[in-house]
Amino acid sequence: MNLVIDVGNTYIKIGVFDKSKIVHKCVIEQSDFEKTVSILQNEYPLITDAIVSAVSNLSDDFVKSIKKKFKTVFLDHIVKMPFENLYATPTTLGIDRLALVAAAVYQFPKKDVLVIDAGTCITFDFKNQREEYLGGAISPGLKMRYESLHNFTAKLPLLEIKEPKKTIGNSTEEAIHSGVVNGVLNEIDGLIKEYCNIYPGLTVILTGGDAHFLSKRLKNSIFATSNFLLEGLNYILAFNNSR
């Protein structure tokens, strides 16, 4: 069994996989990591291997504690990937984006796929039918947009994410919800449309912490899935262990 760990910008997401099937998933704060891994180890004593993807530098203690317990792959720009990376600056590409593209290659081989990950940031990542990764886009996530309106102004309150009641926001709160939520929805719908103009048979995946909230409100047809990145990491682990 495999322990699959996605260290995001805000949370750590952990999946336990039995071959290609996810049997357990949790989202935790960074500070609960050690405790959670011990609990999982007791619950799933058959875990032998682990893979870690991190968007930031991991502490030496973190690396040591995982290595001691499992045979571990730390995803970096050198680990072998099932696609060709045509990003102009491949070594600055986010590790999480590498994992998302790997998931797209395994689940939708020989297809044009756009992966949208709505988390701390919203990332767009495109791979074509030839399994070439071309790049995409990075923009602020929902929570970040609410926070930046508050942080960079004197008067705007910090609001929790909420569906706007109307397009024409008629109060400060409604105007912010309309701007942030409708802004993100129109951005996603608009970019999907632009990609579809170039790649008519495009498959669109929406994942990340805000995928569920957004998917119900998007015009375009998409696959919404919360485990896409973890599945990508599990595939990369299998791919590298079989070599």
- Write out the binding residues for K(+): 117
- Within residues 68-127, the interface with ligand PAU by CB under 6 A covers 92-94, 96-97, 121, 123
In terms of CB distance, is 30 or 241 closer to ligand PAU?
30
The H or E element that residue 142 is part of is helix 142-151
**Euclidean distance between CA atoms 113 and 110, whole angstroms:** 9
* Location of structure tokens 């939708």: 108
- To the nearest 10°, report the CA torsion of 93, 95, 98, 102: 180
Residue 116 and residue 203 in contact, taking contact as beta carbons nearer than 8 Å: no
Q: What angle do CA 42, 46, 47 make, to 5 degrees?
A: 85
Q: In this structure, which amino acid lies at residue 29?
A: E
Crossing angle for the helix pair 33-43 and 60-69, nearest 10 degrees? 10
Count of beta carbons in the 10 Å neighbourhood of residue 180: 22
Beta carbon nearer to ligand ATP, 127 or 145: 145
Stretch that binds ligand ATP, among 14-22, 147-155, 202-210, 217-225 (CB under 6 A): 202-210
Q: Would you count residue 119 as binding K ion (CB under 5 A)?
A: yes
Which option in K ion, ligand ATP, ligand PAU, none does residue 161 bind, with CB closer than 5 to 8 A by kind?
ligand ATP
Min dist CB 39 to K ion, Å, is: 26
Give whole-number Cα distances, 11 to 5, 208, 238, in Å: 11, 11, 24
- For K ion, which residue of 6, 49, 112, 117 counts as binding (CB under 5 A)? 117
Binding segment for ligand ATP (CB under 6 A), chosen from 3-11, 74-82, 97-105, 106-114, is 3-11
Question: What residue numbers does the annotated binding site for ATP cover?
Answer: 6-13, 120
Binding footprint of ligand ATP on the chain (CB under 6 A): 8-11, 55, 96, 117, 119-121, 141-143, 161, 208-210
Give contact residues for ligand PAU (rule: CB under 6 A). Answer: 9, 55, 92-94, 96-97, 121, 123, 138
